[in-house]
Amino acid sequence: MPQSPPPPLSPPLHTYQHSPPQEYQQGYFTSPVSTEKETPYATHTAIGSPTPDYSAPQVIPGQQAYPFGAQPFSPSSHGGSTLGSPQPRPYTFKEHVDTYDQHISRPGSVPPPVPPKDDRKCGLKKRTFWMLMGCVIFWLIALAVGLGAGLGIGLSKKNKSQEVKIDPFCRDHPKLCVGGSLNAEYLSKKGAFNGSGIALAGESWNPTTGTLFTLYFQHHTGDIRYLKYTKGQKWFGGGITETVASNAKNATPISAVAYVANATQFFHVFYVGDDNNVKQVTQTNESTSTQLWTEGPLNKQNLQVYGDSPSTGLQACWKGNFYGDSDYSKFPTVNGSVNDIPFDNRLGMNIWYALDNSTFHQYAWYAGSPDWKFIQRWQGFNTQAGVGCYSWGAGTTQYAMMVSKNDDVEMYWKDTDTNSSTIVQDEDHPYNVFVNASGATIPDIWPSTSLGYTTYFYAQSADRSIRGYDINYDAENTSYPGHENFTVQTPAEPLYALGGTHLTVSAVSEKNNDGDVLYDSLYVFFQTDGNDITAATRRVYGGEWTIAPLKIPDT
């Protein structure tokens, strides 16, 4: 069907306005200006007298010189000059003012010489003007250099603050990352952690609590918490009192296994710790004290997870009957009919974790054993993607699903039958070894997709939509009919999740005492905005999806 173009890889990056660069106060500087002294015009030529800044006109022979008391001065003179004649008085000082102390023309006298006119700029002598201009230009240049340096530092700080903080691995491989590792601005400040692991443990086998399943997620504070969903279709929990662990790595994958053995309920949660080791915490209902979360035996193995990438695959899977002691018939089939598979008393768990960029290690635990044991090394896969598994159905065959370097989901099967009377020698059907079921390869998926199986197998497609596949599990003949696949979507179009979102799935069927189906549903959980956990549900055998975010407490 036509699909609208997918939205961006990650939530829109809000534009953060940074405060402008620091303003620099401009200082006002003054420069002392030397006042040029003027030498009054001499009444006669002084032999051996110092040469003034400029020489007065020479006295014309045969003319009388002006008496000292009536000597005119330059209009711009500011005083301070001295005369060359013996014992002169300052021209600015008079002891007595005589009304007749005027210049009196005498016979044979000539008019006083006119002093040369000063060449001025803006009211200042040229020399003074250019000296002042030089000082002004010097200080302007100094100010410009200072402002330039300061502005450069300010812009450098601003650019540094605006620089996208991205994990080095994610800079080269953005499709293998999610959330805050792509950009620190994407880190959640409320609700769930952006890139949170999501895991679901079914509890429909537990009639005493009324809980259908428990959903585990990472809160934006970094804690792993849980929400419970009841048969009354109500959610509760998710607060600080529902904390499972507080030492998880950011955006850690989470995997959960829940079962009943010998009338005891067990809940196991697996995640990557902030020390980059695989962690296991366990809770049972054996006593009041054990209802607290305690460390599991896997922690003693000190299994170090591949640390060069912020995203990593991790998956734990139940070995044996899905619900442990309970009847497997409670688990719905694709068409909604009742399962008639008898109880299988083999109990245990498998777990896969990323050792390096292309290798998973598989460990296993069996009921009654105090330790986990190494099983197998898986090479040549994309370890930033998730791992899928199916090992609780009828028969002796179990399945594992991984993402190849070509972005395809590959399915592997392994027949663990050890009964010589039932073993059929066939080169196409070896025993106790995983074999690729090439007929079930799913192409074109998101490189760091999570994988999940409950009734249907789920993966994120290359266009970021979530798709379900009806797999026909049959060892070497495993396949899937293309027409039985579906997309999680609104009535109008597919729903596009965050690229590389963690996801978890389940299916629940509830019947009354007469065997009538009260309801059955598929559940798919993933992230679309970064601080959300979005739930999508529909009937097992078909129908429209109902999609809504869960309410995650901010504190």
Q: Same domain for 239 and 158?
A: no
**Domain count within the chain:** 2
Q: Per DSSP, which regions of 438-503 are E strands? A: 451-454, 456-460, 466-469, 486-487
Residue 222 pLDDT: 96
The residue among 178, 176, 171, 168 whose CA lies nearest residue 198 is 178
pLDDT at residue 155 is higher than 60: no
467 — phi, psi (to 5°)?
Answer: -120, 150
Q: Same domain for 258 and 136?
A: no
Q: Are 279 and 312 in contact (CB under 8 A)?
A: no
b/e map 311-321, b = 16+ CB within 10 Å? bbbbbbbbbbb
Residue 296's CB is within 10 A of a number of other CB atoms, namely 17
240 — pLDDT class (breaks 50, 70, 90): very high
Compute the distance between CA of residue 523 and CA of residue 527 in angstroms, rounded to an integer. Answer: 14
The domain containing residue 360 runs over which residues?
172-549
Cα separations (Å) of 548 from 52, 232, 273, 425, 524? 98, 17, 30, 51, 11
Q: Are 328 and 342 in contact (CB under 8 A)?
A: yes
Q: What is the dihedral of CA 547, 225, 220, 178, to 10 degrees?
A: -60
Which residues is 435 bridged to in the sheet?
413
Q: Same domain for 249 and 129?
A: no
Is residue 520 included in any domain, yes or no? yes
Is residue 97 included in any domain, yes or no? no
Compute the distance between CA of residue 400 and CA of residue 436 in angstroms, rounded to an integer. Answer: 9
Residue 70 pLDDT: 41
Question: With a threshold of 0.75, does the pTM exceed it?
Answer: no
421 — phi, psi (to 5°)?
Answer: -75, -20
Compute the distance between CA of residue 233 and CA of residue 230 in angstroms, rounded to an integer. Answer: 5
Q: Same domain for 124 and 236?
A: no
Which carries the bigger pLDDT value, residue 481 or residue 410? 410
| pLDDT, tens only, 328-341 | 444 455 555 555 54
Last residue of a domain, one of 163, 191, 220: 163
Q: Same domain for 132 and 180?
A: no
Q: What is the 3-state secondary structure (H, E, C) of 318-375?
A: EECCCCCCCCHHHCCCCCCCCCCCCCCCCCEEEEEEECCCCEEEEEEEECCCCCCEEE
Last residue of a domain, one of 130, 163, 196: 163
% of the chain with per-residue pLDDT over 90: 47
Q: Same domain for 139 and 179?
A: no
355 — pLDDT class (breaks 50, 70, 90): very high
How far is residue 308 CA from its own chain's centroid? 16
Pick the range with the lowest mean pLDDT from 36-50, 195-209, 293-307.
Answer: 36-50
Q: Same domain for 398 and 486?
A: yes
Residue 433 pLDDT: 92
Residue 83 pLDDT: 36
The residue among 55, 175, 236, 142 whose CA lies nearest residue 444 is 175
Is residue 267 included in any domain, yes or no? yes
Query: Tokens in use for 58?
Result: 């020479």
Q: Same domain for 231 and 367?
A: yes
Helix (H, G, I), strand (E, B) or coil at 546: strand
Q: Are 198 and 226 in contact (CB under 8 A)?
A: no
Which carries the bigger pLDDT value, residue 211 or residue 413? 413
Compute the distance between CA of residue 338 and CA of residue 538 in angstroms, rounded to an integer. Answer: 18
Q: Same domain for 450 and 324?
A: yes
The chain-wide mean pLDDT, for the chain, equals 77
| pLDDT, tens only, 100-151 | 444 444 555 556 666 655 566 566 666 777 777 788 887 788 777 776 666 5
Across the range 301-311, mean pLDDT stands at 95
550 — pLDDT class (breaks 50, 70, 90): very high
419 — pLDDT class (breaks 50, 70, 90): confident
Q: Same domain for 153 and 203?
A: no
Compute the distance between CA of residue 442 and CA of residue 463 in angstroms, rounded to an integer. Answer: 14
Residue 428 pLDDT: 87
Pick the range with the lowest mean pLDDT from 59-73, 270-284, 503-517.
Answer: 59-73
Q: Same domain for 131 and 226?
A: no
The residue among 533, 401, 406 whose CA lies nearest residue 459 is 401
Pick the range with the lowest mean pLDDT from 112-121, 263-272, 300-309, 518-527.
Answer: 112-121
Residue 25 pLDDT: 41
Is residue 239 included in any domain, yes or no? yes
Please report, for the domain that includes residue 545, its CATH number. Answer: 2.120.10.70
Is residue 71 included in any domain, yes or no? no
Query: Tokens in use for 549?
Result: 């975010």
Q: Are 170 and 229 in contact (CB under 8 A)?
A: no
Q: Which residue has the tokens 């250019």?
A: 130
Residue 171 pLDDT: 92
Residue 443 pLDDT: 96
Phi-psi region of 213 (alpha: psi -120 to 50; beta: other; left: phi over 0): beta
| pLDDT, tens only, 172-216 | 999 999 998 899 888 999 999 999 999 999 876 566 678 889 999
Last residue of a domain, one of 125, 145, 163: 163
519 — pLDDT class (breaks 50, 70, 90): confident
Q: Are 393 and 473 in contact (CB under 8 A)?
A: yes
Pick the range with the lowest mean pLDDT from 89-98, 277-286, 422-431.
Answer: 89-98
pLDDT at residue 441 is higher than 70: yes
Is residue 370 included in any domain, yes or no? yes
Cα angle 78-80-81, degrees, rounded to a multiple of 5:
100
Is residue 28 included in any domain, yes or no? no
Query: Tokens in use for 56?
Result: 């007065």
Residue 223 pLDDT: 97
379 — pLDDT class (breaks 50, 70, 90): very high
Across the range 480-484, mean pLDDT stands at 79
Q: Which residue has the tokens 């106790």?
A: 432
Residue 24 pLDDT: 38
Across the range 500-529, mean pLDDT stands at 90
Compute the distance between CA of residue 259 and CA of residue 347 in angstroms, rounded to an integer. Answer: 9
Which carries the bigger pLDDT value, residue 46 or residue 483? 483
Across the range 241-254, mean pLDDT stands at 96
Q: Are 183 and 211 in contact (CB under 8 A)?
A: no
Counting other chains too, the contacts that 375-379 makes at CB distance below 8 Å and 24 or more residues apart are 375/350, 376/434, 378/352, 378/402
The residue among 479, 475, 487 whose CA lies nearest residue 430 is 475
Across the range 356-377, mean pLDDT stands at 92
Q: Are 330 and 509 in contact (CB under 8 A)?
A: yes
345 — pLDDT class (breaks 50, 70, 90): very low
Is residue 505 included in any domain, yes or no? yes
Compute the distance between CA of residue 135 and CA of residue 112 in angstroms, rounded to an integer. Answer: 39
Q: Are 391 and 350 in contact (CB under 8 A)?
A: yes
Residue 541's CB is within 10 A of a number of other CB atoms, namely 14
Q: Same domain for 222 and 152?
A: no
